[in-house]
Protein backbone atom coordinates (compact mmCIF):
# COMPACT_ATOMS: atom_id res chain seq x y z
CA UNK A 1 0.00 0.00 0.00
CA UNK A 2 1.04 3.61 -0.54
CA UNK A 3 -0.82 5.06 2.47
CA UNK A 4 -1.92 3.27 5.61
CA UNK A 5 -5.15 4.51 7.18
CA UNK A 6 -5.17 4.87 10.95
CA UNK A 7 -8.55 6.33 11.89
CA UNK A 8 -8.60 9.82 10.40
CA UNK A 9 -4.84 9.81 9.73
CA UNK A 10 -3.05 8.71 6.55
CA UNK A 11 0.43 7.31 7.13
CA UNK A 12 2.59 7.28 3.98
CA UNK A 13 4.80 4.29 3.31
CA UNK A 14 8.11 4.22 1.46
CA UNK A 15 6.16 3.63 -1.76
CA UNK A 16 5.10 7.32 -1.64
CA UNK A 17 8.61 8.85 -1.48
CA UNK A 18 9.72 11.31 -4.17
CA UNK A 19 13.02 11.97 -5.98
CA UNK A 20 14.15 15.21 -4.29
CA UNK A 21 14.28 14.27 -0.58
CA UNK A 22 14.06 10.81 1.07
CA UNK A 23 11.88 12.36 3.79
CA UNK A 24 9.39 13.93 1.35
CA UNK A 25 6.67 12.47 -0.85
CA UNK A 26 6.39 12.47 -4.60
CA UNK A 27 3.65 14.92 -5.59
CA UNK A 28 1.65 12.20 -7.33
CA UNK A 29 0.99 10.32 -4.09
CA UNK A 30 -0.70 13.15 -2.12
CA UNK A 31 -2.38 14.35 -5.33
CA UNK A 32 -4.06 10.98 -5.78
CA UNK A 33 -4.96 10.86 -2.06
CA UNK A 34 -6.63 14.28 -2.21
CA UNK A 35 -8.44 13.43 -5.45
CA UNK A 36 -10.03 10.44 -3.74
CA UNK A 37 -11.09 12.41 -0.67
CA UNK A 38 -12.65 15.12 -2.86
CA UNK A 39 -14.45 12.56 -5.01
CA UNK A 40 -15.90 10.93 -1.90
CA UNK A 41 -17.72 14.17 -1.01
CA UNK A 42 -20.05 13.78 -4.01
CA UNK A 43 -19.85 10.22 -5.39
CA UNK A 44 -22.69 10.92 -7.84
CA UNK A 45 -20.51 13.56 -9.57
CA UNK A 46 -17.36 13.24 -11.71
CA UNK A 47 -14.06 14.96 -11.00
CA UNK A 48 -13.50 17.18 -14.05
CA UNK A 49 -10.70 19.44 -12.84
CA UNK A 50 -8.25 19.25 -9.94
CA UNK A 51 -5.77 21.97 -8.99
CA UNK A 52 -3.19 21.40 -6.27
CA UNK A 53 -0.84 23.96 -4.77
CA UNK A 54 2.17 22.56 -2.95
CA UNK A 55 2.99 24.90 -0.07
CA UNK A 56 6.26 23.09 0.55
CA UNK A 57 7.42 19.50 0.57
CA UNK A 58 4.89 16.92 1.76
CA UNK A 59 6.66 15.10 4.60
CA UNK A 60 7.03 11.36 5.05
CA UNK A 61 4.92 11.62 8.21
CA UNK A 62 1.32 11.05 9.34
CA UNK A 63 -1.09 13.33 7.46
CA UNK A 64 -4.68 14.48 7.75
CA UNK A 65 -7.10 15.65 5.08
CA UNK A 66 -9.81 18.26 5.63
CA UNK A 67 -12.17 18.25 2.64
CA UNK A 68 -15.47 20.03 2.08
CA UNK A 69 -17.93 21.14 -0.58
CA UNK A 70 -17.72 24.95 -0.84
CA UNK A 71 -20.21 25.41 -3.69
CA UNK A 72 -23.01 22.80 -3.75
CA UNK A 73 -25.22 22.29 -6.77
CA UNK A 74 -27.13 19.74 -8.84
CA UNK A 75 -25.00 20.14 -11.96
CA UNK A 76 -21.70 21.60 -10.75
CA UNK A 77 -19.96 21.67 -7.38
CA UNK A 78 -16.69 23.08 -6.06
CA UNK A 79 -14.77 21.21 -3.38
CA UNK A 80 -11.64 22.15 -1.44
CA UNK A 81 -9.20 20.19 0.68
CA UNK A 82 -6.10 20.72 2.80
CA UNK A 83 -3.41 18.15 3.49
CA UNK A 84 -1.58 18.80 6.76
CA UNK A 85 0.80 17.14 9.16
CA UNK A 86 -1.19 15.24 11.76
CA UNK A 87 -1.63 16.85 15.17
CA UNK A 88 -2.26 20.35 13.90
CA UNK A 89 0.99 20.69 11.99
CA UNK A 90 1.87 22.57 8.82
CA UNK A 91 -0.48 22.57 5.85
CA UNK A 92 1.56 21.07 3.01
CA UNK A 93 -0.90 21.13 0.13
CA UNK A 94 -4.21 22.73 -0.85
CA UNK A 95 -6.54 21.43 -3.54
CA UNK A 96 -9.65 22.61 -5.34
CA UNK A 97 -11.81 20.40 -7.53
CA UNK A 98 -14.60 20.94 -10.03
CA UNK A 99 -17.18 18.16 -9.76
CA UNK A 100 -19.72 17.80 -12.57
CA UNK A 101 -22.92 15.84 -12.86
CA UNK A 102 -22.41 12.94 -15.23
CA UNK A 103 -23.63 13.78 -18.71
CA UNK A 104 -26.74 12.82 -20.60
CA UNK A 105 -25.42 12.38 -24.17
CA UNK A 106 -25.60 9.02 -25.91
CA UNK A 107 -22.26 9.47 -27.65
CA UNK A 108 -19.04 11.44 -27.29
CA UNK A 109 -17.60 13.94 -29.77
CA UNK A 110 -13.79 13.54 -30.00
CA UNK A 111 -11.54 16.58 -30.14
CA UNK A 112 -9.90 15.65 -33.41
CA UNK A 113 -8.33 12.98 -35.56
CA UNK A 114 -6.70 10.59 -34.80
CA UNK A 115 -8.67 9.82 -31.62
CA UNK A 116 -6.00 7.56 -30.10
CA UNK A 117 -2.40 8.02 -29.00
CA UNK A 118 -0.40 6.69 -31.94
CA UNK A 119 2.32 4.95 -29.92
CA UNK A 120 2.89 1.39 -28.70
CA UNK A 121 1.02 0.21 -25.63
CA UNK A 122 2.59 -0.33 -22.19
CA UNK A 123 3.42 -3.97 -22.90
CA UNK A 124 5.89 -2.79 -25.55
CA UNK A 125 7.44 -0.05 -23.40
CA UNK A 126 10.76 0.00 -21.53
CA UNK A 127 10.06 -0.59 -17.84
CA UNK A 128 11.56 2.10 -15.62
CA UNK A 129 14.12 0.78 -13.12
CA UNK A 130 14.84 3.23 -10.31
CA UNK A 131 17.18 0.91 -8.45
CA UNK A 132 16.87 -0.57 -4.96
CA UNK A 133 14.67 0.88 -2.27
CA UNK A 134 11.08 2.01 -2.12
CA UNK A 135 9.80 5.11 -3.94
CA UNK A 136 6.64 6.26 -5.64
CA UNK A 137 8.28 6.16 -9.07
CA UNK A 138 10.03 2.85 -8.45
CA UNK A 139 7.68 0.70 -6.37
CA UNK A 140 4.48 2.73 -6.06
CA UNK A 141 4.09 3.00 -9.84
CA UNK A 142 4.73 0.75 -12.82
CA UNK A 143 6.17 3.02 -15.55
CA UNK A 144 6.87 2.05 -19.18
CA UNK A 145 8.44 4.52 -21.64
CA UNK A 146 7.72 4.17 -25.35
CA UNK A 147 9.39 7.43 -26.46
CA UNK A 148 12.11 9.27 -24.59
CA UNK A 149 12.91 8.30 -21.02
CA UNK A 150 13.10 9.63 -17.47
CA UNK A 151 16.90 9.44 -17.76
CA UNK A 152 17.02 11.36 -21.05
CA UNK A 153 16.45 15.06 -21.71
CA UNK A 154 13.50 16.17 -23.78
CA UNK A 155 9.91 15.20 -24.58
CA UNK A 156 8.73 11.73 -23.63
CA UNK A 157 5.75 9.44 -23.82
CA UNK A 158 5.24 6.93 -21.05
CA UNK A 159 2.56 4.68 -19.62
CA UNK A 160 1.88 4.86 -15.88
CA UNK A 161 0.01 2.46 -13.60
CA UNK A 162 -0.43 2.62 -9.81
CA UNK A 163 1.26 -0.61 -8.80
CA UNK A 164 -0.42 -1.26 -5.44
CA UNK A 165 -3.47 -0.21 -3.41
CA UNK A 166 -3.42 3.51 -2.68
CA UNK A 167 -4.94 3.58 0.83
CA UNK A 168 -5.01 0.32 2.79
CA UNK A 169 -6.49 -2.31 0.52
CA UNK A 170 -8.51 0.20 -1.53
CA UNK A 171 -8.03 0.14 -5.28
CA UNK A 172 -7.52 3.59 -6.89
CA UNK A 173 -10.41 5.27 -8.68
CA UNK A 174 -10.00 6.18 -12.38
CA UNK A 175 -9.45 9.85 -11.49
CA UNK A 176 -6.81 8.91 -8.92
CA UNK A 177 -4.97 6.90 -11.57
CA UNK A 178 -4.94 9.90 -13.90
CA UNK A 179 -3.81 12.37 -11.23
CA UNK A 180 -1.04 10.11 -9.93
CA UNK A 181 0.37 9.79 -13.44
CA UNK A 182 -0.03 13.48 -14.28
CA UNK A 183 2.48 14.64 -11.67
CA UNK A 184 5.27 12.83 -13.52
CA UNK A 185 5.13 15.24 -16.47
CA UNK A 186 8.04 17.46 -15.43
CA UNK A 187 10.27 14.49 -14.65
CA UNK A 188 9.40 12.54 -17.77
CA UNK A 189 10.09 15.53 -20.05
CA UNK A 190 12.98 17.06 -18.10
CA UNK A 191 15.43 19.25 -19.98
CA UNK A 192 18.06 19.57 -17.22
CA UNK A 193 20.29 17.13 -15.37
CA UNK A 194 18.86 15.73 -12.12
CA UNK A 195 22.26 15.90 -10.44
CA UNK A 196 22.82 19.62 -11.05
CA UNK A 197 19.36 21.16 -11.05
CA UNK A 198 16.07 21.28 -9.21
CA UNK A 199 12.96 21.64 -11.40
CA UNK A 200 10.21 21.19 -8.86
CA UNK A 201 6.55 21.71 -9.70
CA UNK A 202 4.86 24.14 -7.32
CA UNK A 203 1.40 23.09 -8.48
CA UNK A 204 -0.50 20.62 -10.62
CA UNK A 205 -3.70 21.17 -12.59
CA UNK A 206 -5.44 18.23 -14.26
CA UNK A 207 -8.43 18.57 -16.60
CA UNK A 208 -10.29 15.33 -17.38
CA UNK A 209 -12.93 15.33 -20.12
CA UNK A 210 -13.46 11.65 -19.32
CA UNK A 211 -12.21 9.13 -16.81
CA UNK A 212 -9.50 6.70 -17.92
CA UNK A 213 -10.51 3.14 -18.69
CA UNK A 214 -8.30 0.43 -17.24
CA UNK A 215 -5.19 0.68 -15.10
CA UNK A 216 -2.83 2.46 -17.52
CA UNK A 217 -2.58 6.19 -18.21
CA UNK A 218 -0.19 7.60 -20.83
CA UNK A 219 1.56 10.98 -20.66
CA UNK A 220 2.81 12.78 -23.76
CA UNK A 221 4.93 15.31 -21.86
CA UNK A 222 6.83 18.50 -22.77
CA UNK A 223 8.79 21.06 -20.70
CA UNK A 224 9.72 24.67 -21.47
CA UNK A 225 12.14 26.65 -19.23
CA UNK A 226 12.93 30.35 -19.25
CA UNK A 227 16.14 32.22 -18.35
CA UNK A 228 14.54 33.66 -15.22
CA UNK A 229 14.32 30.23 -13.57
CA UNK A 230 10.67 29.47 -14.22
CA UNK A 231 9.10 26.91 -16.46
CA UNK A 232 6.04 24.96 -17.47
CA UNK A 233 5.46 21.27 -18.07
CA UNK A 234 2.38 20.15 -19.94
CA UNK A 235 1.15 16.64 -20.64
CA UNK A 236 -1.56 15.25 -22.88
CA UNK A 237 -3.24 12.39 -21.00
CA UNK A 238 -4.46 9.24 -22.73
CA UNK A 239 -5.66 5.74 -22.04
CA UNK A 240 -5.67 2.85 -24.50
CA UNK A 241 -8.87 4.18 -26.15
CA UNK A 242 -7.75 7.77 -26.68
CA UNK A 243 -7.38 11.22 -25.08
CA UNK A 244 -8.74 11.79 -21.57
CA UNK A 245 -7.42 15.26 -20.65
CA UNK A 246 -4.49 17.57 -20.00
CA UNK A 247 -2.13 18.38 -17.11
CA UNK A 248 -0.06 21.50 -16.38
CA UNK A 249 2.73 22.09 -13.84
CA UNK A 250 4.40 25.40 -12.95
CA UNK A 251 8.13 24.78 -12.36
CA UNK A 252 10.64 26.42 -10.04
CA UNK A 253 14.18 25.92 -11.37
CA UNK A 254 17.41 26.34 -9.40
CA UNK A 255 20.88 24.90 -9.17
CA UNK A 256 21.36 22.33 -6.44
Read off the pLDDT of each residue in 135-140 and give the average, rounded to a whole number: 94
Query: What pLDDT shows up at residue 112?
Result: 60
Number of other CB atoms surrounding residue 211 within 10 Å? 17
φ, ψ for residue 234 (rounded to 5)? -135, 145
State pLDDT tens for residues 38-76: 999 999 999 999 999 999 999 999 999 999 999 999 999
Percentage above 90 pLDDT, the chain: 75
Positive or negative: CA dihedral 99, 187, 218, 141? negative
116 — pLDDT class (breaks 50, 70, 90): low
Positive or negative: CA dihedral 66, 71, 72, 74? negative
More confident of the two residues 105 and 91: 91
Residue among 51, 16, 79, 32 nearest 178 (CA): 32
pTM of the model: 0.93
State pLDDT tens for residues 14-26: 999 998 889 999 9
pLDDT surpasses 80 at 106: no
250 — pLDDT class (breaks 50, 70, 90): very high
Query: What pLDDT shows up at residue 131?
Result: 79
Query: What pLDDT shows up at residue 113?
Result: 53
pLDDT surpasses 80 at 114: no
Annotated domain spans of the chain = 3-102+122-255
Positive or negative: CA dihedral 220, 221, 224, 230? positive
State the average pLDDT for the chain: 92
Residue among 144, 101, 103 nearest 123 (CA): 144
Number of other CB atoms surrounding residue 140 within 10 Å? 28
pLDDT surpasses 90 at 109: no
Query: What pLDDT shows up at residue 34?
Result: 98
List alpha helices for the chain, DSSP H. 28-39, 174-182, 185-188
Percentage above 70 pLDDT, the chain: 95
DSSP 211: P
Which residues are within 8 A (CB) of 105 and not within 5 positions of it... i.e. 6 or more apart? none
Read off the pLDDT of each residue in 174-186 and give the average, rounded to a whole number: 97
CATH superfamily of 3-102+122-255: Acyl-CoA thioesterase, double hotdog domain (2.40.160.210)
Amino acid sequence: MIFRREGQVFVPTGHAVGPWDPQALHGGAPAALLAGELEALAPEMRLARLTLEFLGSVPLAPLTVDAQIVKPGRRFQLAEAELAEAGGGRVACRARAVLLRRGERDEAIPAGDPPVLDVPGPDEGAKLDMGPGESFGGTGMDIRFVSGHLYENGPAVGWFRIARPLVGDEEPTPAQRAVAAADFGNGASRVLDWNDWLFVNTDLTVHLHREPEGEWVALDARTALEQDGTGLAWSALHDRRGPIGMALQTLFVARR
